[in-house]
Structure 1
Amino acid sequence: MTSDWSFTQGGPKEDPSNEFEVGRQFGNKEEVMLAVKQYNIRRAAEYKIVESDHWRYNARCIQFGPGCNWSILVSYRRKQERWEVRRYTGPHTCMQTSMGQDHRRLDSKVIAQHVFTIVKTDPTISIRVLQGDVENHFGYKALYRKVWLAKQIVIARIYGDWKESYNELPRWLFAMQMYLPAFKYCKPLISIDGTHLYGKYGGTLLMAIAQDSNSNILPITFAVVEGETNETWSFFLSYLREHVTSQPGVILISDRHKSIDGALNVEGSLWKLPHAFQAFCTRHIKAKFMTHFRNKDLKKVLINAAYSKSHREYAYYYGRLRGENVAITNWLEKMSRLQRVQYAEEGRRFGHMTANISKCINAVMKGSRNLSMTALVKSSYFRLGEIFARKGSEALAQL
């Protein structure tokens, strides 16, 4: 006998126009409890549990007595290995009172059963959208927390238990390390970024993104950490350099996050000249400029200066900025010209002045960022495998 209820089978069906019938059977006790909850939620009625153990489930209307005789008894049939309604009196005849916006029996398990197919189809669906669907179906506005927990239940059912996923993670990481030597065939350029995970345990996903000669964007390394700190970025970047991007002359593009900058420039770092080059994302510089100086007209001049393809062109825009406000150029000079101006980096950036390839992957990974750890790795693994197989076939076809 099992107490688990299979969401994948859709759960117990409940027609609000029907009553329970003696002899009706259920696969397990969980289905019984969900059916009773749904029945009473749809009728704005409340009940209390009189008896509940491994063999019997007995419930009555909370107003049981002269006003209402609603009750149900469901027992486990050992020979059939099924739960069966043995006694039933209904429907409710009590004066049902308003229960407010929520129903206390509309818990996360009931909601999970209802939203299972929706979440399976689109794991990125927002809690607000699910709240609206639950309200339309049941007539009650469930609390945000209830719906969030329901979504986590569904995610765990589809993709595996959150805690157990950590135990399964090492072999998947080993598989990716052994069979996806992606950077070997890419340009000597990577873009790094961090993005929040919003599943049960949260955390931050750090990623390194590269691009091959056919302009295909590929995630080559990722790590799940507690947050963006000096320690986590140092861990990520040191392993990235040692195991993936060990060749000299690699250029790394990022925003000016203090933790990234600190990790790249520690004593003995192989991310500093002459081993590698660090470059800043122009979009990030632009955003910081607007925070400091709030000048839309000069923002365009700043961008033109960054994209300048010659010293002469750069000097023109730099002069305009200096003429308007010397504080702007003083602020710019805190960053090396090599890190922020196109002509100065001598083609090493391959025209990539922003970290947009990271942002693109963030968008692609959106559907995975609320999954358990191993599910996230599996999702990435199979996506990469599909990309490599498809692009490999396209390359062979052109020979």
Structure 2
Amino acid sequence: MDFTETERAMDASASLVARESDPSRVDDLQKNSFYNSKENLIIAVGLWNMKRGTKTKVIRSDLGCVYFTCKHSDKCKFDLHASSHGGGMWGVHKLKEHSCQADLRRAKKIKTHSKVVAAYVANRIRDDGEVIKPKSIMAELVRDFGIKIKYDVALRARNLEMEMIYGRVDDSFLLLPRYLYALREANPGTLIGLEVDVDCRFKHLFVALAASISPFYFHLRPVIVVDGTHLKGKNSGILFVAVAKDGNEAVFPLAIGVGPIENDESWKWFMSHLRQACGEPENLLVVSDAHVSIANAVKSEFPNATYGICYYHLLNKIKGYGPGVAELFYQAAYAYKQSDYTRVMSTWLL
């Protein structure tokens, strides 16, 4: 499947994904206030309780209405009724304030849901763009409301707040075709590869910017170093990279890619696109660690290139032969003249 077909397929699947509305920015709960979902109404009640140190419970909830009372209903006149108004909107049509004493409210530890904490913190993040750490959320709730929450609740709240503001990470994959199209339009000559499986789920990605491809053709030595590293987070995978060196001996990026696992299939897919981007110039040398899948992919996609293992990984393999061998290897690796290299290798062979 080429990039254009993949773009159409993923855009079609994107229309099937229902996106949740952002929680309402609630400053206070009051009669005749409206919310765009029942969940947002419940979050608003949770925020209202958190700010006042009160506790409520749901005594009735169905498709058309929801009723709240105080957890100390035998000693409190609090009463909140809300109902559906169609189109997903929910409105508060009855609200009586708490009449229970403050010491009764604080008699037991208040449990705060992570969604409520997330909604409270998200309001501030929208204003200053700061991404708050879980421990900072815990400290803020103690400072502002005297509420203590566990670290895992704060962590879930932080992750939920990021989804509220930026959307779900899983859904962002559906935006890839549009992003890559815009990237290619803004950088003519950029090579892009995107592959999905039979269920239209993300599988492989390749990006080589035109600004990286052109210098390799005309100005850089024909040496490409490739490697892969594991991605962290909810959506794991492997990040593939290909780099070269410029005239100042600085690392020069050529291409990046993403795949599900570091195996023969993924490396061959990445290498095939790398060959399209960089070609196979004369005397090309491809360097990597000792991963066998990389060696197989180079042999398959760059049949005329020379393949070598990098200095660091090769040194680790020969250290066991003694310090003298390692020193000779170092001298040979850093011999910049043919005569020096021949002399060191002759000593080694002796």
Measured after TM superposition, the shift of residue 48 of structure 1 is: 2.0
Tell me the secondary structure at the aligned position of residue 84 of structure 1: strand
Aligned residue for 1:60?
A: 69
Measured after TM superposition, the shift of residue 63 of structure 1 is: 3.5
Taking the TM superposition and a 5 Å limit, the aligned residue runs for 1:1-399 are 4-6=20-22, 11-13=25-27, 20-23=29-32, 26=35, 29-41=38-50, 46-53=55-62, 55-66=64-75, 68-75=76-83, 83-84=91-92, 86-90=94-98, 92-93=100-101, 94=104, 96-99=106-109, 104-108=111-115, 110-111=117-118, 113-115=120-122, 118=125, 121=129, 130-139=133-142, 140-144=148-152, 146-147=153-154, 149-173=156-180, 176=183, 179=188, 180=190, 181=210, 182-186=212-216, 187=220, 188-210=222-244, 219-241=253-275, 243-249=276-282, 250-265=284-299, 269-272=300-303, 275-286=304-315, 302-310=329-337, 313-314=340-341
Amino acid at match of 1:96: R
Taking every aligned residue pair, what percent have the same amino acid on both sides?
22
Amino acid at match of 2:80: I
How far apart, in 2, do the equivalents of 1:218 and 1:12 lie? 49
How far apart, in 2, do the equivalents of 1:164 and 1:34 lie? 23
Tell me the secondary structure at the aligned position of residue 133 of structure 2: helix
How far apart, in 2, do the equivalents of 1:293 and 1:64 lie? 80
Structure-1-length-normalised TM-score: 0.58
Tell me the secondary structure at the aligned position of residue 57 of structure 1: strand
C-alpha contact (below 8 Å) 2:112/2:149 kept by paired residues: no
How far apart, in 2, do the equivalents of 1:319 and 1:97 lie? 84
Moved more, 246-255 or 225-234: 246-255
Size of the aligned set, in residue pairs, is 296
Structure-2-length-normalised TM-score: 0.64
How far apart, in 2, do the equivalents of 1:106 and 1:170 lie? 36
C-alpha contact (below 8 Å) 2:69/2:78 kept by paired residues: yes
Alpha carbons of structure 1 residues 276 and 117: separation in structure 2 relative to 1, 3 Å? farther
Point out where structure 2 has 5 or more consecutive residues left out of the alignment. Answer: 1-18, 143-147, 191-209
Aligned residue for 2:198?
A: none
Amino acid at match of 2:176: L
How far apart, in 1, do the equivalents of 2:340 and 2:119 lie? 60
How far apart, in 1, do the equivalents of 2:177 and 2:277 lie? 18
Point out where structure 1 has 5 or more consecutive residues left out of the alignment. Answer: 15-19, 324-399
Alpha carbons of structure 1 residues 315 and 165: separation in structure 2 relative to 1, 3 Å? same
C-alpha contact (below 8 Å) 1:42/1:138 kept by paired residues: no
How far apart, in 1, do the equivalents of 2:161 and 2:238 lie? 22
**Structure richer in strand, relative to its length:** 2
| Alignment RMSD (CA, Å) | 4.3
Amino acid at match of 2:307: Q
Which structure has more RCO (C-alpha within 8 Å, separation ≥ 6)?
1
Amino acid at match of 1:310: K
Aligned residue for 2:207?
A: none
Moved more, 212-221 or 49-58: 212-221
Measured after TM superposition, the shift of residue 23 of structure 1 is: 4.9
How far does the alpha carbon of each residue in 1:137-171 deviate from its partner, in whole angstroms, 9 at most, with x for none? 22334343x55554544444555544444444345
Aligned residue for 1:388?
A: none
Measured after TM superposition, the shift of residue 207 of structure 1 is: 2.5
